[in-house]
């Protein structure tokens, strides 16, 4: 299994603030993903990366941006948070057995007031 | 296009009983993988079990087993001897091989509640 970490776990912030959600993994996986999930709903892919300096937008349009300067680190940034960004953000890395399973971090619950 | 369908928004089961959560999928590829994840109220997604399309036997992991019926395109999760801690959302997901996009497609989930 992957060891994958996300900080903060919970964040309440005002409109217009810049925020960065951190995601890191210790398994050396090249592939990493960001998903957005509203409570009790399905997951939507917003960004993914296949390695250092590789980033792509996912299926759900998002105003956030990502970077991948190091293999283990895949942060997500919102330049100007809005109430519509209120959601849970889940980071995942992919590798290992079981068909190259995606392993998820604990998530960040973001509330924008 | 790939699609995952979970038709049960909610399920109830008594402790120690078995429960089946349904999942059907749609794909035109012959090679693909199916995954089940558990999401407790704390929010993290926990990988439970994997089934490859060419696997001849149904996957099992402890109390979890996957009832894979390829011709019917179904991949139901069976939880035996339910425990109170099994109460959570359960998501079925699929990825086609080779890794055209490497994306997981998720269903809408089933909320399982285990009662004493």
Does residue A1 register a pLDDT over 60? no
pLDDT in tens, A36-64: 999 888 899 999 999 999 999 988 888 89
Please indicate if any CB of chain B lies within 8 Å of the CB of A101: yes
pLDDT in tens, B6-64: 999 999 999 999 999 999 999 888 888 999 999 999 999 999 999 999 988 999 999 99
Identify the pLDDT of residue B29: 84
By the 10 Å C-beta count (0-12 exposed, 13-18 middle, 19+ buried), B92 is classed as buried
A-chain CB neighbours of B10 within 8 Å are none
The three state secondary structure string of chain A is: CCCEEEECCEEEECCCCCEEEEEEECCCCCEEEEEEECCCCCCEEEEEEEECCEEEECCCCCCCEECCCECCECCEEECCCCHHHCEEEEEEEECCHHHHCEEECCCEEEEEC
**A43/B89 touch (CB, cutoff 8 Å), yes or no:** no
Q: How many CA atoms lie within 13 A of A31 on its CB side?
A: 13
Q: Categorize the per-residue pLDDT at B111 as very low, low, confident or very high, splitting at 50, 70 and 90.
A: very high
DSSP reduced 3-state for B99: coil
What's the DSSP call for residue B70?
Answer: T
Identify the pLDDT of residue B30: 86
């Amino acid at each position: 299994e992957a060891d994958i970490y996300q900080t903060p776990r919970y964040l309440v912030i005002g409109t217009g603030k810049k925020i960065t959600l951190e995601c890191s993994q210790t398994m050396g996986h090249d592939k990493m993903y960001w998903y957005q999930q509203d409570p009790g709903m399905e997951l939507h892919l917003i960004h993914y990366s296949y390695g250092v300096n590789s980033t792509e937008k996912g299926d759900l349009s998002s105003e956030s941006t990502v970077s991948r300067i190091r293999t283990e680190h895949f942060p997500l940034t919102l330049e100007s948070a809005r109430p519509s960004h209120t959601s849970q953000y889940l980071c995942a890395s992919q590798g290992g057995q079981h068909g190259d399973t995606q392993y998820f971090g604990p998530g960040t619950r973001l509330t924008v007031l | 296009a790939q699609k995952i369908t979970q038709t049960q928004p909610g399920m109830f089961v008594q402790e120690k009983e078995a429960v089946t959560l349904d999942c059907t999928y749609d794909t035109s590829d012959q090679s693909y993988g199916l995954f089940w994840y558990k999401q407790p109220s704390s929010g993290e997604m926990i990988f439970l079990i994997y089934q490859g399309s060419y696997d001849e036997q149904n996957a099992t992991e402890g109390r979890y087993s996957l009832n894979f019926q390829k011709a019917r395109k179904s991949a139901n999760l069976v939880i035996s001897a339910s425990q109170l801690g099994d109460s959570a959302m359960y998501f079925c997901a699929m990825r086609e091989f080779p890794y055209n996009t490497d994306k997981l497609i998720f269903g809408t989930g089933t909320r399982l509640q285990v009662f004493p």
